[in-house]
Structure 1
Amino acid sequence: MTLPMRRRPGPFAEPLADFDTFFDRMSRMLESAPSPSAGELPWAPLADLHETDDAYIVTVELPGVAADDIDVALADRELTVTAAYGEREETGVLRRGTRRTGRCEYRTLLPTEVRGDDITAGLSDGVLRVTVPKAKTATPRHIEITTGE
């Protein structure tokens, strides 16, 4: 007859103990981090980035935002679009609100050098379209080899 054997505690006795420890540490770290109050952090609007042969085209959905409330900036190769959604004043009691308000921000790092002076932006039907022309790259040229004669 075989008797049950008592296992000795060892490093493999609790395979998930390391995960529990990790999650406990992460929870404590996140709880100790300063939490911003509601509305301080910008949220990201829906956006697309397309590349053509000579430009990058960024389209950002900003329904209900006036052109005066939108800012487009380029620093080095980082394009930033910020906008402010204001709260609409309505009469009566708000029973349910799901529309976002506050500041939104879209950032993207463009893969190549661009011509910052030639950027165009237009707003139509709540969609912002930013066209960023690419910089002209050096064209390869043939170099003739001469002999020492």
Structure 2
Amino acid sequence: MSITWWSPSADMRSAARAMDRLIEQFFGEQVPDSTNSQNPPTYYLPVDIFETDEAYTLVASVPGFKEDQVEVTFEDEILTIKANAEGHKLPGRWLRQERPYGSFVRRLEVPAQVETAKIGAHFDNGELTITIPKTAKPKPVKIQIGTGKKELAAKA
């Protein structure tokens, strides 16, 4: 029988590596690993979102993707941005490949009070801008109060 020493730090390092893999699978790789050509990376798409009185505006940088490779949908208060691009086909062997390719999907919850029929998207120089107009807030209505007695008759 052999004696094996237990090392808590080795177990922690192993758990940390497992957590890194899990996070990478969930969020995607920020820099693709050119050694793994079988599974193109899935990217986490960072976005900027700002609000005005009239609309929400979302801006996302999607370098390396063309307009026809990006799809934007809105359903059940969820805005979805998807893209897929083939890897760059060049002769020879890659030494380093950092330009994005592969796919990404980003889903964002949007408040219900928006004009879904008027959502617009614009693609320019690798930057996607989506404008989501808000519904107009109802204006207060003044209700006149009558004076005097008014009898309500019940019909039989």
TM range (shorter): 0.5 to 0.7
Aligned residues: 117
| Deviation of the 1:78 alpha carbon | 1.2
How far apart in 1 are the matches of 2:116 and 2:95?
Answer: 46
Do the aligned residues in 2 keep the contact of 1:80 with 1:108 (CA within 8 Å)?
Answer: yes
1:29-108 matches, within 5 Å, as: 38-39=39-40, 42-108=42-108
C-alpha distance in structure 2 between counterparts of 1:148 and 1:117, whole Å: 47
1:56–1:133: 8 Å Cα contact kept in structure 2? yes
2:120 and 2:128 map into 1 onto residues whose CA distance is 10
Verify the 8 A CA contact 1:114 1:135 in the aligned structure 2.
yes
1:62-97: CA deviation from partner (whole Å, max 9, x where unpaired): 111111111110013211111113200112211122
- The answer on whether the counterparts of 2:64 and 2:99 sit within 8 Å (CA) in structure 1 is no
Calculate percent identity across the aligned residue pairs.
29
CA-based RMSD: 2.7
Q: Which runs of 4+ in 1 moved over 4 A?
A: none
Cα deviation, residue 144, structure 1: 2.5
3-state secondary structure, aligned to 1:98: coil
Query: Unpaired segments of 5 or more residues in structure 1?
Result: 1-23, 28-36
Flag structure 2 segments of 5+ consecutive residues without an equivalent: 1-14, 19-37, 150-156
Q: Are 2:132 and 1:132 aligned?
A: yes
Give the equivalent residue in structure 1 for 2:34: none
Q: Does the 8 Å contact 1:77/1:113 carry over to 2?
A: no
**Partner letter of residue 45 of structure 2?**
P
- Separation in structure 2 between the aligned mates of residue 139 and residue 42 of structure 1, nearest angstrom: 46
Distance 2:58 2:73 in 1: 13
CA distance in 2, matches of 1:93, 1:58: 38
Q: Could you tell me whether the CA contact under 8 Å between 2:64 and 2:100 is conserved in 1?
A: no
Residue 38 of structure 1 and its aligned partner are, at CA, apart by: 4.3
